[in-house]
Chain A
Amino acid sequence: MEYRTENLGKSYGEKQIFCHLNLCLKEGGVYCLMAPSGMGKTTLFRILMGLERADEGRLIGFEKVRFAPVFQEDRLCMGLGAVKNVRLVRPELSEETARRELLQLLPADSLNQPVSEYSGGMRRRVALMRALLSAGNFLLFDEPFEGLDEKTREAAIRVVEQKRQGRTLLFASHYPEEARALDARIIDFLSAIPERQDQSSG
């Protein structure tokens, strides 16, 4: 099984975000998408998830995909604690299991505090755990380790390795060492778009 994008193109009005974008991802693979900011990674992710339509091209093989995203923003329900935020996307997960899993990345006394009282790094970890514990079969992370210090970043990477459970993972990052740590194949966003390459070299 493969997931492919074929000549994908998107522009907002006059401003072209990307065009002729061709990606090929193997089911169960780990991929790290690397590109400077503002190249349209987030837009690509939105198109993959069906939150936005591409102007050109098509998606192949995504019919049965259930995405488990970590958005660029944390997008948590601020009035709820970590456990309830996780169980919102995975109600069949018992409270105990959710709690046990969350304890890998979060202090015990925080779990039933509203997320609004968490630090930025803690929120990021909840967003990450939510994706990993969800029923999705395609993990799509937009700079998932942003805002984490070195120690929690390592812990988060270990949890991703352990909870990925054979699912496809595509994540955006600026740091090659994150790709190495997760043994990810690096996709250079620029080389996936021939025209961009022409522009930048010319």
Chain B
Amino acid sequence: MESRRVRLVKKAAILLFWLVLWQGASLWVGRPIFLVGPWETLAAILRLSGTGAFWHAVLSSLARIGFGFAMAFCGGLFCGSLAYFWPFFGEILSPVVTLMKTIPVASFVILALIWAGADNLSLIISFLVVFPIIYLNTAAGLQSADRQLLEMSRVYRVKCLDRILHIYRPALAPYLVSACQVALGMSWKSGIAAEVIGTPEYSIGENLYMAKVFFTTDELFAWTAVIIALSFLFEKAVLLLLKAAARERP
């Protein structure tokens, strides 16, 4: 317990050190357009969060990116399982997945902007970025299922559902957890970047873009902090759900 408290104090001290350094740097620069300090950022967050437009933007960006992520998660899980049990399907899909992995997000954004318009841009981008990660990790996770246990279940004629729950699921869980840790951060970064390019109405990206246009650097910092916080909370929530789904009751 003692060492845990020490660790916590140490972490807080390190955080404080950087905050002080940041504040010092902003005072030294002396021009808020270039660098605003933590105080001004906090003030901007408080000011913005008092407005309805702030919450509108936060919620609609969260809904778009979150929905894109959820669809990619379900789709990747489904297609990855299909590819494992029916390898021909995997071979058919393989060039598409390779393309999705290698095409730069910026190209996707422009394409999606032309095809689908700005409104659902971040949803599409979040889907396109997350899908290949979940898909590949699902296939790899199922591949890692214990051969010996699978043989055992065949000889004992274990029910299909039990095989999925007690042999495939434990093998899949660590792959999906690490895939989500990567994919969650990427879905936010690329989703917001797409919004900055497409500037759909009521979105975090639009607000970032406006901060650039009007040189309101304190709002830029405030929105950035909001994105970090949202991304963090989103990741925690998804991983919590995932771990609950993977937990086995002995």
Q: A and B from one assembly?
A: yes
Q: Which DSSP category, helix, strand, loop or mixed, fits chain B's interface?
A: helix
Q: A80-B248, A114-B248, A114-B250 are in contact. Are A49 and B155 (CB under 8 A)?
A: yes
A51's partner among B155, B159, B162, B250 (CB-CB below 8 A) is B155
Complex-state Cα separation, A17 to B158, whole angstroms: 30
Q: Quick one: closest B residue to A113, CB to CB?
A: B250
Nearest Cβ in chain A — how far from B148, in angstroms?
5
B-contact bits for A74-96, CB 8 A (1 contact / 0 none): 01011111001000110100000
Give B154-192 interface residues, CB cut-off 8 Å to A. 154-159, 162, 166-167, 170
The count of chain A contact residues (Cβ–Cβ below 8 Å) is 26
B180: shortest Cβ distance to chain A, in Å?
20
Query: Which of B157, B159, B166 sits near A66, CB closer than 8 Å?
Result: B157
Whether A79 touches B170, Cβ cut-off 8 Å, given contacts A88-B162, A89-B158, A114-B250, is yes
Interface size on B, residues (CB 8 A): 17
Checking A77, A89, A91, A114 against B167 with a beta-carbon cut-off of 8 angstroms, the contacting residue is: A77
Minimum-distance CB pairs A-B, first 6:
A79-B248, A81-B250, A89-B156, A114-B250, A75-B152, A77-B166
What are 23 A-to-B residue pairs whose CB atoms are below 8 Å?
A49-B155, A50-B155, A66-B157, A67-B155, A69-B156, A71-B151, A71-B152, A73-B148, A75-B148, A75-B151, A77-B149, A77-B167, A78-B170, A80-B250, A84-B166, A88-B153, A89-B156, A112-B250, A113-B250, A115-B250, A130-B156, A134-B156, A136-B156
